[in-house]
Amino acid sequence: MKYAIEAKGLVKHFGDTKALQGVDLAARPGTVLGVLGPNGAGKTTAVRILATLLKADAGAAFVNGFDVCAHPEKVRQNIGLTGQYASVDEDLSGMQNLRLIGSLLDLTTSESKARAKELLEWFDLTEAADRPAKTYSGGMRRRLDLAASLVGRPSVIFLDEPTTGLDPAKREDMWDVVRKLVVDGSTVLLTTQYLEEADALADEITVIDHGRVIAHDTPLGLKRIVGGQTLSVQPTDPSRVSETTAILRRISGAEPKVLRAGVLAVAVNDNDALTETVARLASAGIGVTELSLHLPSLDEVFFTLTGHRVGTGLGIAAAERSRPQANGENS
């Protein structure tokens, strides 16, 4: 078996909405496949089909070699699902939620209790174990959701936007969990709106938009296409913008653009660019209030790949990012 997760030509329409128009996905065992795309791209629909929650109109999907249509029960024995939708029961405590899932997975009473304790400890929920889940914070809810999908030690795990709405520190925690799952041998399909997240976790990235795959590559390959990293600088003294522009032009060999008022940005491929910039700015005596090296945003990735912006060009992806509990896609 070459792939732990495989989808071929998935098509799904909801009335007039074409959620998927022929999507191929593939993840080798023990790897992380990142599925990157904006709201409404079809990420959730693809995950729901792979997790047997939804039937595709056309195409085929396999998990650990089992056809999701022909053998859904076999697929369900192999998967764990965490998403904005596959939820825990808010009225039950963390412990009760995990033990319920243990019972439904045919663990004995003592096995399910032991597994629940182990997971609560791993996700730092032991103290909250007996409180109803509705009293949990957003981050705790996410951790309990994830713990619930791991009760049966699934070999294939679907994480649908696991960090949307989490603050950066909580996001890093979640990333550590995903890395540990892969070390333990699981295959993970992770959907996200952040290139940064896909880059940090995925072995391969599939970019989808409007229900179609528009790119599939390794993170390195994808970054090569979309232009590596962006260096942005904001001089403390606005009158020194032109001097800074000259420095950036010399280092990158490209023309810096104005990102926002007083902030300059330029694409760089060289890892030494940041240190060189710091050194040159220092010798010129230019103070900075912002200096950062970051991956292109989803918006920039899309612009490079498709020539159009996500949404209507108003930077919807950025708006979603700043909203604490983004709704995610409904399709």
Partner 1 sequence: MTITAEPMTLDTPVAASPAHRNRPFRLTRHSAALAKRALIKTMRTPEALIDVTIQPVIFLLLFVYVFGGAISGSQHDYLQYLLPGILGQTIAMGAVAIGTNLNSDIEKGVFDRFKSLPIGRIAPLVGSVLADVVRYALVTVMTIGFGYVLGFRIHTDPAAMVAGCLVAIAFALALSWVSVYIGMLVRTSGSAQGIMILIVLPLSFGSNVFVQANTLPGWMQAFVKVNPITHLVDTMRGLFLGGPVTSHLLWTVGWMIALVVVFAPLALRAYNRKV
Binding site for partner 1 (CB under 8 A): 1-2, 4, 29-30, 48, 51-53, 64-66, 73-74, 76-81, 83-92, 96, 100-101, 103-107, 111, 115, 132, 148-149, 152-155, 184-186
| Nearer of residues 105 and 263 to partner 1, judged by Cβ | 105
Minimum distance, C-beta of residue 21 to partner 1, in the bound complex (Å): 24
**Is 118 exposed, middle or buried (CB count within 10 Å of its CB: 0-12, 13-18, 19+)?**
middle
Residues 6+ apart with CB under 8 A from 276: 251
Find residue 11's DSSP bridge partners: 21, 58
| Nearer of residues 106 and 172 to partner 1, judged by Cβ | 106
Minimum distance, C-beta of residue 63 to partner 1, in the bound complex (Å): 9
Minimum distance, C-beta of residue 261 to partner 1, in the bound complex (Å): 43
Would strands 66-67 and 58-63 be described as parallel, antiparallel, or unpaired? antiparallel
| Nearer of residues 147 and 248 to partner 1, judged by Cβ | 147
Structure tokens at 245: 């522009």
| Nearer of residues 118 and 237 to partner 1, judged by Cβ | 118
| Nearer of residues 22 and 132 to partner 1, judged by Cβ | 132
Minimum distance, C-beta of residue 41 to partner 1, in the bound complex (Å): 20
Minimum distance, C-beta of residue 265 to partner 1, in the bound complex (Å): 40
| Nearer of residues 15 and 307 to partner 1, judged by Cβ | 15
| Nearer of residues 187 and 234 to partner 1, judged by Cβ | 187
| Nearer of residues 84 and 229 to partner 1, judged by Cβ | 84
Minimum distance, C-beta of residue 135 to partner 1, in the bound complex (Å): 11
Minimum distance, C-beta of residue 51 to partner 1, in the bound complex (Å): 5
Would strands 187-192 and 32-36 be described as parallel, antiparallel, or unpaired? parallel
Q: Which pairs from 59-63 meet CB under 8 Å and 24+ separation?
A: 59/7, 59/8, 59/9, 59/10, 59/11, 59/20, 59/22, 59/23, 60/7, 60/8, 60/9, 60/10, 61/6, 61/7, 61/8, 61/10, 62/3, 62/5, 62/6, 62/7, 63/4, 63/5, 63/6, 63/156
Minimum distance, C-beta of residue 73 to partner 1, in the bound complex (Å): 5
